[in-house]
Chain A
Amino acid sequence: MESPDKTRELLAETELVRAAREGDKEAFGALVRRYQSDVYRLCYRVLGDHHDAEDATQEAFLRAYDRLEQLESASKFRSWLLRIAVNTCLNERRRRRPTTELEEWHQQDPQDPETSTLRAEGLRQVERAIQELPKNHRIALVLKDLEGLDYPQIADYLEVQEGTARVWVYRARQRLREIIERWNGT
């Protein structure tokens, strides 16, 4: 059961969505302020670039505004909005390629004295490796392992069968594991 605070929050959100649907731009502005961080974080994790994430976030909100009438349940605004953000990221043509440091890193000698520095940079390298994954696999991995969604939700967001979502996450992790093994020289 939802907590009283959560219920109040949901009610307020439902009211905001209803008002926005009736053309109240201030209500839509309140929804933007409430969810822009969530949308931006998702876009950044998928696209790996702050400028691309800004563009995608703005585009996602614009599309949401245009399609407010299609939203079936006002209480599901957040997941509906994030689904739009995922689709925006899928269609986003990357303006900037991430740096090719990842490839340089692959070619480093694991016995090199710089190995410890590379270890310290591990997280950043994994983030870069994520950007090298095929888009579908990357989005599935971001939704599962970084955003904490379950497989049925991922399948819903990506409009694929649950089995496909599972395979994409599996392949993404497998590819990242290969990169980590190379990183450790095994």
Chain B
Amino acid sequence: MGLPGKAKVKGDHRAMEWDLILQRYVWGELSEEERASLELELERSPELRARLEAYVRLHSALEDISKQGVAAPDLSRSIERRVQLASYLRGMLQLCGGVVASYARAILAMLGLSR
């Protein structure tokens, strides 16, 4: 892993790179070698450790949220009604379109404009 130089995580242009590396560490996306390099860096930098701690808390919070159930209301009746209504409207539109087209053809024929 290319560690982004001395671990100054605040006001440093490398801060974003450190953020990415710390995220990958917490979310288990680093190789063994990369983890070892980062852990050495973590021993040296309290700033980096503080930032790591925040990501660990975030990871844990997101995991807890993902495990929480979301109580879903039963929308099946309402969806089925809307599907039926949509089908009915579509059918009516097709029918109306057909009737209008027939009238138009009849008028054109009456006016002698049809081929």
Q: A residues near B, CB below 8 A? A: 25, 28-29, 32-33, 36-37, 40-41, 44-45, 50, 54, 57-58, 61-62, 65-66, 122-123, 126-127, 145-148, 170, 173-174, 176-177, 180-181, 184, 186
Q: B residues near A, CB below 8 A? A: 16, 19-20, 23, 50-51, 54-55, 57-58, 61-62, 64-66, 68, 70, 72-76, 78-80, 82-84, 86-87
In Å, the complex CA distance between A122 and B61 comes to 8
Secondary structure at the B interface, as helix, strand, loop or mixed, is helix
Q: Is there contact, CB below 8 Å, between A54 and B20?
A: no
Q: Which residues does chain B contribute within 8 Å of A146, judged by CB atoms? A: 62, 65-66
Q: Which residues does chain A contribute within 8 Å of B86, judged by CB atoms? A: 62, 65-66
Q: 6 tightest A-B contacts by CB?
A: A40-B72, A41-B70, A37-B72, A145-B62, A126-B61, A146-B66
Q: List 20 A-B residue pairs with CB atoms under 8 Å apart, sorted by A's residue number.
A: A25-B83, A33-B76, A40-B70, A40-B75, A44-B72, A57-B75, A62-B82, A65-B83, A123-B65, A126-B65, A127-B65, A146-B62, A147-B66, A173-B23, A177-B19, A177-B51, A177-B54, A177-B58, A180-B61, A181-B51
In Å, the complex CA distance between A61 and B79 comes to 7
Q: Is there contact, CB below 8 Å, between A62 and B19?
A: no
Secondary structure at the A interface, as helix, strand, loop or mixed, is helix
In Å, the complex CA distance between A54 and B79 comes to 10
In Å, the complex CA distance between A78 and B51 comes to 38
Q: Is there contact, CB below 8 Å, between A44 and B70?
A: yes
Q: Which residues does chain B contribute within 8 Å of A28, judged by CB atoms? A: 80, 83
Q: Is there contact, CB below 8 Å, between A145 and B66?
A: yes
In Å, the complex CA distance between A14 and B110 comes to 52
Q: Which residues does chain B contribute within 8 Å of A54, judged by CB atoms? A: 73, 75
| Closest partner residue, chain A, to B68 (CB atom) | A123
In Å, the complex CA distance between A138 and B54 comes to 19
Q: How far is the CB of B33 from chain A (nearest CB, A)?
A: 21
Q: Which residues does chain B contribute within 8 Å of A61, judged by CB atoms? A: 75, 79, 82-83
